[in-house]
């Protein structure tokens, strides 16, 4: 299985204030995000983390990655310090990635795009960064934890999320 997520901001206390995540402190925040991740991701699953994994000065990135199941890839975000980018626990690290999943071209970056490769041929842009605050374009999805109940999601979860929303 392949999962996608973004903007976990582990050990980054700013996220409690800025995004108003429902936790009294970072210990509870991080424990909940780790438990949510491990409840859905199995050891052989792949997870594409689309940036802003953990805060500066948050400790050992390898230790944090070891606490999370799955094979982990990083798409670098604006808040990923050098210690996260250089961490050996990632299978791959890059700023941008195109990946075909279930016959669909996914164009992934931490930042949302206005246009992207093969946009007119039904490719999909997956991103983070906006914490669910940006009105998406068609076939564009914010995969951040603020959008998806603080856990990684599959492409099917992502695509069906728009069908569940009531137009308003």
Instruction: Report the alpha-carbon distance of residue 165 to residue 162 in Å, rounded.
Output: 5
pLDDT of residue 164: 54
8 A C-beta contact, residue 16 and residue 26 = yes
8 A C-beta contact, residue 61 and residue 54 = yes
The total number of structural domains in the chain stands at: 1
pLDDT of residue 163: 61
Q: Where are the alpha helices (DSSP H) in the chain?
A: 14-18, 26-40, 61-66, 82-85, 155-164
Instruction: Report the alpha-carbon distance of residue 65 to residue 62 in Å, rounded.
Output: 5
Q: Under DSSP, is residue 85 helix (H, G, I), strand (E, B) or coil?
A: helix
| Domain containing residue 17: CATH number | 3.60.21.10
Domain assignment present for residue 151? The answer is yes
How close are the terminal C-alpha atoms of the chain, in Å?
A: 33
Radius of gyration of the chain (CA): 15
Beta strands in 25-161 (DSSP E): 46-49, 71-75, 92-94, 96-101, 104-109, 124-127, 140-142
Domain assignment present for residue 168? The answer is no
What is the residue range of 45's domain? 2-163
Instruction: Report the alpha-carbon distance of residue 17 to residue 83 in Å, rounded.
Output: 24
Token pair 């914010």 in the structure block, residue? 142
pLDDT of residue 18: 86
pLDDT of residue 161: 87
pLDDT of residue 58: 72
Domain assignment present for residue 140? The answer is yes
User: How are beta strands 104-109 and 96-101 bridged, if at all?
Assistant: antiparallel
Domain assignment present for residue 98? The answer is yes
Q: Which pLDDT tens digits describe the chain residue by residue (168 residues)? A: 999 999 999 999 888 988 889 999 999 999 999 999 999 999 999 999 999 999 887 778 999 999 999 999 999 999 999 999 999 999 999 999 999 999 999 999 999 999 999 999 999 999 999 999 999 899 999 999 999 999 999 999 999 987 654 443
Predicted TM-score of the model (pTM): 0.94
Q: Read off φ and ψ for residue 144, nearest 5 degrees.
A: -65, 155
Write the DSSP symbol of residue 121.
Answer: G
């Amino acid at each position: 299985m392949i999962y996608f997520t973004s903007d976990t901001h582990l050990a980054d206390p700013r996220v409690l204030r800025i995004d108003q995540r429902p936790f009294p402190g970072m210990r509870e925040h991080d424990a909940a995000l780790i438990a949510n991740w491990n409840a859905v991701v199995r050891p052989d699953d792949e997870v594409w983390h689309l940036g802003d994994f953990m805060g500066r000065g948050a400790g050992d990135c390898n230790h944090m990655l070891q606490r999370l199941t799955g094979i982990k890839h990083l798409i670098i975000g604006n808040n990923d310090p050098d210690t996260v980018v250089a961490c050996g626990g990632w299978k791959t690290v890059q700023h941008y990635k195109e990946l075909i999943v279930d016959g669909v071209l996914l164009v992934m970056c931490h930042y949302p795009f206005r246009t992207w490769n093969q946009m007119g041929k039904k490719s999909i842009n997956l991103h983070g960064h906006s914490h669910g605050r940006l009105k998406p374009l068609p076939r564009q999805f914010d995969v951040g934890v603020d959008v998806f109940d603080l856990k990684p999601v599959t492409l099917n979860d992502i695509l069906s999320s728009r069908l569940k929303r009531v137009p308003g």
